[in-house]
Chains A and B, each alone.
Chain A
Amino acid sequence: MAKRRRLVREVMAREVITVNRYEQFRNILIKCSTCHTFPVILVVDDEGRLIGKVSISNIIDVFRIHEPEILKTIPFLRDDEINIFDFDLPPELGYLLLVEDIMEADCLSVTDDTTIEEAYRIMKLNRLDQLPVVDKEGRLVGMIGVFDIVQAVFKDLGII
């Protein structure tokens, strides 16, 4: 008998941390201050459509906020050349910097009717641990992570 293909909507998490693009930078830090590691925060518009994401790399990029984005494309220059322990940033930056200044606007997502095999392939290919899930209209409906998929596979195998 052919194996039933599971869809992303069957295994995804529906509780997701979201913010709007005008949220202040310091509020994100405060919101996540009790988190063990920084989670991926999804940015949505007033209609709930996914417009970007903020991950730990975007938070670290705040140390390069004064540099044009184009510099990321040049050779012989690596992020680790920034010494975050010897860096002056004005305290008011926490209020002045908004989510839209630091978010990654071109973030990958999958629709909720994608198979978990395809979602897993996209994550492996793009070295991501999780992907936002949207419906046909682009509205955010959840998040799927590698662990959700692995868990589903273990369930199918009867291990849990």
Chain B
Amino acid sequence: MNTLFSAGIIFLGSLLMMRLSNRFRLPSVTGYLIFGVLIGPYVANLIAPQIIKASGMISNLALSFIAFGLGQNFTLANVRKIGKMVIAISIGEVVGSFLVVSLALWLIGRVPLSLAIIFGAIAPATAPAAVVMVTREFKARGPFTDTLLSVVAIDDAWGIILFAFCLALAKVIAGMGGGGSREIVYAFTEVGGSLVLGGVLGYLLALSGRFLRTSTELLITTIGFIALTAGIAAYLKFSILLANMALGTSLVNSERASGKYFETIQRIDTPFYLLFFVLAGAHLELPKLLGIGVLSLLFILTRLPGEMLGAYIGAVITKAEAKIRRYIGLGLAPQAGVALGLALIAFHEFPQFGDLILSTIIVTTIIYEIFGPILTRIALEKAGEIG
């Protein structure tokens, strides 16, 4: 199996799977993932080993694009526009699902603390595209829908910050990064270093705009800076995601006409995302599925209540109306790309638990991508906003 033949199969097959999953009203991501499982090493074995080997780089690049895009939300004007309620609910949801999932896996699932923290930090990731798809399909309108869409768009940014912190913490707890009583300091250094790195490079990217002549140069420069940020972050053992989010935030705050940098990436990112999802599916170790059954079940059963509880607390604090308090967490059920990406990072950072983390998250993502949109629809119905 040569690399280009594999790439052809991946792209064309994914297009068919996207159409097929949309026909069954499932998000495209579900189609890509299932296709990845089907052409992966345990079923049809149609993916060249070189592509599988490159999956670390592809996922890092795809995730860097996601993080870079999320970073543009953090301007003072935007944060004001988003409002206190959305910020409180989204932070509540992220902290709630993290705590409930980590504690459940640690106390009930009896997994090591470092692993429980990693699973907990992956749990808050949601699937904005799936939620938007449901609101569009059912023509949902109203304050509940507005809040839900804003929360689902911003919560992954908090999730990435939390994950970066937890990954550093888990590495030290697992005895991989120094040990002793310096865990928290180490985690803060990693987070702070990532922010400074992204901040400086974002400022330089904004400055570079003066010397660019064409949109092609703009594209090359933007990709170059994203890759450079990821590369330096990896070298310094910082968080690739957080550094790229800081790159986007620093850029948007240093350059008035920064929209072009984000738009240029949006024009070319689809093939990377597609490859990323198919390769994630291909990583699913089918023979180990039975072994991860209990862990997956525990993750699935605790993630949603954690999200609901945290979002509820955030809504109560900001005095949100009753229907938002009650149902917003339920609306956030879908889980997709960011969760997989975080799992892939954990896969590479924690070789001893890598397969377990990735396979569990692939299974839970497929399940949450199938049932999540249904739960979002129920939340919209209960809130009385389906038109």
Say whether A and B bind each other: yes
Residues of A at the B interface (CB closer than 8 Å) are 66-71, 73-78, 81-82, 88, 106, 108, 121, 124-127
CB distance from A155 to the nearest CB of B (A): 23
Give the distance in Å from the alpha carbon of A67 to the alpha carbon of B27 in the complex.
Answer: 19
A-B contact list, 23 entries, CB within 8 Å: A66-B145, A68-B146, A69-B81, A70-B78, A70-B82, A70-B149, A71-B132, A73-B69, A74-B69, A74-B70, A74-B156, A75-B269, A76-B27, A76-B129, A77-B129, A77-B132, A81-B136, A106-B259, A108-B257, A125-B209, A125-B214, A126-B257, A127-B260
- Provide the residues of chain B in CB contact with A125, threshold 8 Å: 209, 212-215, 217-218, 260
Residues of B at the A interface (CB closer than 8 Å) are 27-29, 65-66, 69-70, 72-73, 78, 81-82, 128-129, 132-133, 135-136, 139, 141, 145-146, 149-150, 153-154, 156, 209, 212-215, 217-218, 256-257, 259-260, 262, 269-270, 273, 336-337, 387
CB contact between B69 and one of A67, A75, A81, A88 (< 8 Å): that residue? A75
- Tell me whether B153 and A76 are in contact (CB under 8 A): no
CB distance from B255 to the nearest CB of A (A): 11
CB distance from B21 to the nearest CB of A (A): 13
- Tell me whether B149 and A71 are in contact (CB under 8 A): yes
- Provide the residues of chain A in CB contact with B212, threshold 8 Å: 125
- Tell me whether B273 and A75 are in contact (CB under 8 A): yes
- Tell me whether B337 and A68 are in contact (CB under 8 A): no
Main secondary structure of the interface of A (DSSP, over half): loop
Give the distance in Å from the alpha carbon of A75 to the alpha carbon of B72 in the complex.
Answer: 12
- Provide the residues of chain A in CB contact with B136, threshold 8 Å: 81-82
- Tell me whether A67 and B259 are in contact (CB under 8 A): no
CB contact between A73 and one of B135, B153, B269 (< 8 Å): that residue? B153
A71-B149, A73-B69, A108-B257 known, 17 other contacts, Cβ within 8 Å: A66-B141, A66-B146, A68-B82, A68-B153, A70-B81, A70-B149, A70-B153, A73-B262, A75-B65, A75-B69, A75-B128, A75-B273, A76-B27, A76-B28, A76-B273, A125-B213, A126-B260
Give the distance in Å from the alpha carbon of A2 to the alpha carbon of B336 in the complex.
Answer: 60
Give the distance in Å from the alpha carbon of A143 to the alpha carbon of B28 in the complex.
Answer: 42
* Nearest-CB residue, chain A, relative to B256: A106
- Provide the residues of chain A in CB contact with B259, threshold 8 Å: 106
CB distance from B298 to the nearest CB of A (A): 27
Give the distance in Å from the alpha carbon of A71 to the alpha carbon of B141 in the complex.
Answer: 15
- Provide the residues of chain A in CB contact with B81, threshold 8 Å: 69-70
* Nearest-CB residue, chain B, relative to A108: B257
- Tell me whether A74 and B129 are in contact (CB under 8 A): yes
- Tell me whether A68 and B149 are in contact (CB under 8 A): yes
CB contact between B29 and one of A76, A108, A121 (< 8 Å): that residue? A76
Give the distance in Å from the alpha carbon of A108 to the alpha carbon of B258 in the complex.
Answer: 11
Give the distance in Å from the alpha carbon of A114 to the alpha carbon of B167 in the complex.
Answer: 50
- Provide the residues of chain A in CB contact with B387, threshold 8 Å: 88
Task: List the 10 shortest-distance A-B pairs measured between CB atoms, nearest first.
Answer: A76-B129, A74-B128, A70-B153, A77-B129, A68-B150, A75-B66, A124-B214, A126-B260, A71-B153, A74-B153
- Tell me whether A124 and B66 are in contact (CB under 8 A): no
- Provide the residues of chain A in CB contact with B70, threshold 8 Å: 73-74
Give the distance in Å from the alpha carbon of A29 to the alpha carbon of B260 in the complex.
Answer: 27
CB distance from A107 to the nearest CB of B (A): 9
- Tell me whether A70 and B337 are in contact (CB under 8 A): no
CB distance from B86 to the nearest CB of A (A): 9
* Nearest-CB residue, chain A, relative to B260: A126
Give the distance in Å from the alpha carbon of A124 to the alpha carbon of B218 in the complex.
Answer: 10
* Nearest-CB residue, chain A, relative to B267: A127
* Nearest-CB residue, chain A, relative to B338: A75
* Nearest-CB residue, chain A, relative to B83: A68
- Tell me whether A124 and B129 are in contact (CB under 8 A): no
CB distance from A22 to the nearest CB of B (A): 21
CB distance from B226 to the nearest CB of A (A): 13
CB distance from A100 to the nearest CB of B (A): 14
Give the distance in Å from the alpha carbon of A73 to the alpha carbon of B135 in the complex.
Answer: 17
Interface centre among A66, A76, A81, A126 (most CB of B within 10 A): A76
* Nearest-CB residue, chain B, relative to A63: B136
- Tell me whether B215 and A71 are in contact (CB under 8 A): no
- Provide the residues of chain B in CB contact with A108, threshold 8 Å: 257
Give the distance in Å from the alpha carbon of A80 to the alpha carbon of B29 in the complex.
Answer: 16
- Tell me whether B72 and A73 are in contact (CB under 8 A): yes
CB distance from B65 to the nearest CB of A (A): 7
- Provide the residues of chain A in CB contact with B82, threshold 8 Å: 68, 70
- Provide the residues of chain A in CB contact with B145, threshold 8 Å: 66
- Tell me whether B149 and A67 are in contact (CB under 8 A): yes
CB distance from B353 to the nearest CB of A (A): 27
- Tell me whether B213 and A121 are in contact (CB under 8 A): yes
* Nearest-CB residue, chain B, relative to A121: B213
Give the distance in Å from the alpha carbon of A37 to the alpha carbon of B262 in the complex.
Answer: 27
* Nearest-CB residue, chain A, relative to B263: A127
- Tell me whether A73 and B73 are in contact (CB under 8 A): yes
- Tell me whether B273 and A70 are in contact (CB under 8 A): no
- Provide the residues of chain A in CB contact with B214, threshold 8 Å: 124-125
Interface centre among A68, A70, A71, A74 (most CB of B within 10 A): A74
